[in-house]
Amino acid sequence: MKKAALIVFVSMFFLFQKVSTVFADGIIIPEPPPCEDGWCPWPEPEHPMRQLEIRYHHVDVEIINQIATVHVDQVFYNPNKYEIDGQYIFPIPKDASVDEFIMWMDNEPIKGKIMDADEARDIYEEIVYQLKDPALLEYVGQGAVQASIYPIPAGGEQRIELEYTQVLTVENGLLDFVYPLNTEKFSLKPLQDVEVNVEIQSEQALRAIYSPSHVINIHKKGSYQADISYQEEDVLPDQDFKILFSMGEDQAVHLLSYMDDTDESNADGYFMLLLAPPIETGEPAVEKDIVLIMDRSGSMEGEKFLQAQEAAKSILNRLNEDDRFYISVFSDRVMSFENRMRDVNQANDAISWIDHQSASGSTDINLALLDALSVVDDERPTYVIFLTDGLPTAGEVETDAILLNFAQEVPDNVRFFSFGVGYDVDTNLLDSLSQENHGSSTYVKPDMQIDEILSGFYEKISSPVLTDLDLDFGNMTEYDMYPSPLPDLFAGNQVIVTGRYKQGGKINLTLSGEVNGKREEMMYRGLRFSQGDDGETTQFDMLPRIWATRKIGYLLREIRLNGMNEELIEQVIQISVRYGIVTPYTSYLVEEPHVLGVENQQNLADEAMKNYELMPSASAFGAEAVDRAAEEGALSDAQSAPQTWIEEHETVKIAGNRTFLWQDDQWVDTLYDAEAMKLKSISFLSNEYYKLMQDYPEIQKSLALGSHMIIVIDGKAYQILDSGKEVSVIPYSENESRFSSSTTKLKNMVTRSTCFPGIAILGVLILFFSLR
């Protein structure tokens, strides 16, 4: 029997009237080698769709104005004892067109054939039907490009390179680049190296640059160029790589919104605002005061104090023309360069003064804070940068008393930024000072460089654009908005706001703030919040998890700083289970069989409350306290959806905006409540199954998880069952159930092995890449 294989790969180039998208991924579905006399030495594969390995995955993207050129370089490894050959099929999204598509195998160019959506759909559905594996269902409705490949020898590698060009269109100044990295279910082992590099060049000024999916590095080279990079090793990516960016001066606010009309229990929407208002031409920069307070107690002696001195000098060297500064060092007493705010022309004298300071003595934090507040001018934005490596050991040492003393003296215009160095810092004190005064806390662990962190931080806040921000949503109701309170907006940066809303529709949004003592308002008309029935229900389905991550970070910090109560614990547990986000109260999801449903989650909250009351209060200092505070800060400031947090246990999966737990040999939607919902059974791959997918296309990602699952749609629970027998129906199509001539060709190509009845495929390889 001749070896056969099917390779599915996506590459597309298209132009949307809305936000443009390019989507691409590749799949290899090889058939096992022929068997002699009915005997085969190869065992039946546990995961038919995951038999090949991706050694590395490199993507280089160049965007010039609105034209993107994408180059993909991947190496695949065949761990089997036989060679694999076949064909690639590149699924193309709806309404897309391919342009300038080039493909190489081991540096040799190959050609491809373009199929429309109907022809490609037959192939997708037939693969699912043959394999009894729904992993490809998320591509139904997309066209495809098909190409042959060279055989991959046993134990050998195949290098594949692709290049395509895409013209990006703009809607409200926002462009969307997406590269699917969700290869987790198609690679046998974690990818050794994943790297995405994006270079943007524009004739218009670049404004907001943001990734809701991954933590990226952004390096702006002036106003018109930026380099973006993401790199990770030994990882099974479970999210598509996504970048949003804007160009030009007109659009200062960008809205992303999402509403899931299949979730009856949670009908409200999720939104994200990217705020980057322009500075008017000729408008002077906001004048600010910098207050720098450095710990010089004995524990800071040596390299730590030297680095703190270098950071302070770097800040003084970068003050703006109309800025003022106050700098002090403290131990059991306070010394300052001058006893009042000084103009920037005295920065060099202050630098010389810093060089002559040394570390010794104990730590009177209360005295240092009150001394700094005594020089604050309540008419100017004031940024307090407080650096310490120790606990209060002199003067007032009680945390609550220090906080009360500070609160009684601090004016509203102060923004407080704390830097805790090492592990012997009072995290409750630093976090409370920062949270209550529009700032943030940063923890500098022993292996980190103080000067690099502090200098990098000041670069972000060096030029305020708008202070004391406020948002007015008009007649629309919004709630649970984070961060709260809103931070100031600085040049070259954006404020990212997430929250919930009711109903949706078009609104006029007003952003207000202060510029050099004057209250300014900017209105943005006709912003449309999704109502769930606008045909774009999955475009921003990562927003619920980003909002939930921030909400959980806020709740955990509230519990730590102000004490636990049962209501807060219930919220943490419910949100964590619903959105699949790790917390101290739900990390046992790996083993705990009873976490779904209102009653079970109430029991978990009761148990957590009892345990809390029996345990001694957690320490506010030490390595564990610092790690906890830093983790909560990362959650509350999250800009991207977190990775599936216990992927290695194969017990939790994220599909779109849904979370599934592996229970009783099936994937169970965390919206499912066995006490309140009746199950409706649907046979896997039946006409009813395909009808459900057609009626609710937003659940395609969820259905692709497997053939045994429970999913909740509009408050109703459906159980997908696979009896293990041949299904008597054929895949459902929009007009009729049918197999086209393309399917017939596929049947001739993919034949069943006589050794493994029902198993036509030993391996699947997916190469993902996409532009939106």
Amino acid code (one letter) for 695: D
Res 571: pLDDT: 87
Distance CA 671, CA 710 (A): 10
> 766 in helix, strand or coil?
coil
Model confidence over 149-205: pLDDT tens digits? 677 888 888 887 877 776 766 665 678 777 767 655 566 677 788 899 999 988 777
Give the DSSP letter string of 95-111.
Answer: T----S-EEEETTEEE-
Q: Element (H or E) spanning 87, and its range? A: strand 84-92
Amino acid code (one letter) for 132: K
Quote the crossing angle between the two packed helices 365-373 and 399-409, to the nearest 10°.
Answer: 0
| ∠ CA 10-16-22, rounded to 5° | 20
Count Cβ atoms below 10 Å from residue 744 Cβ, excluding itself.
12
* Phi, psi (rounded to 5 degrees) for 624: -65, -40
**5: which 2 tokens?**
């294989």
Pair 621, 509: CB distance under 8 Å = no
Give the end-to-end CA distance of the chain in Å, rounded to a whole number: 43
Q: What is the DSSP code (8-state) at residue 583? A: -
Res 518: pLDDT: 86
Q: What parts of the chain have a pLDDT lower than 70?
A: 1-51, 85-101, 112-114, 121, 123-149, 166, 168-173, 180, 182-188, 248-251, 264-265, 277-284, 533-538, 583-593, 614, 616, 643-650, 723-772
Q: Which of 584, 719, 608 is CA-nearest to residue 660? A: 719
Count Cβ atoms below 10 Å from residue 295 Cβ, excluding itself.
25
Report if pTM > 0.85.
Answer: no
Pair 467, 444: CB distance under 8 Å = no
With 0-12 CB in 10 A as exposed, 13-18 as middle and 19+ as buried, what is 233? exposed
Res 743: pLDDT: 32
Residues with Cβ within 8 Å of 613's Cβ and at least 6 positions away in sequence, in order, are none
